[in-house]
Amino acid sequence: MRTLRKIVLTVILLYGILCGAALAVMYQTPERFSRVMMHVPDVAFIVLPFKPLWFRARAGRLQVGDPAPGFSLSTQDQKTTVQLASFRTSEPVVLVFGSYT
């Protein structure tokens, strides 16, 4: 009975460590996150609670009504850069992040 208790506690401890490590990786930059995640075995996505951890790590600090943070993006032809701040006073801006392919 004592051996079973040690095994269960060890499994719980390892699970907690793995969850903590996954959360720590999710706080990293997207480049570092992808470099680590490409080495994670598929079974980890079934066993660990990735979705709740991801939502916690990437929650951000913006509240409803806060102005969008400034950023710049390259145009599709990669010849110029567009900054969000250049549109603030002229017209409403809708940001769509996704793929149309």
Domain contains 28: yes
List the domain range (segments joined by +) for residue 83: 2-59+69-87
Question: One digit per residue, pLDDT tens: the chain, 101 residues?
Answer: 899 999 999 999 999 999 999 999 999 988 999 999 999 999 999 999 999 999 999 888 888 888 878 888 888 898 999 888 888 777 787 777 777 76
Q: Does the pTM of the predicted model rise above 0.75? A: no
pLDDT at 18: 95
How many separate domains does the chain show?
A: 1
Domain contains 11: yes
- φ, ψ (nearest 5 deg) of residue 62: -70, 145
| Cα four-point dihedral sign 44, 48, 53, 57 | negative
pLDDT at 101: 65
Domain contains 98: no
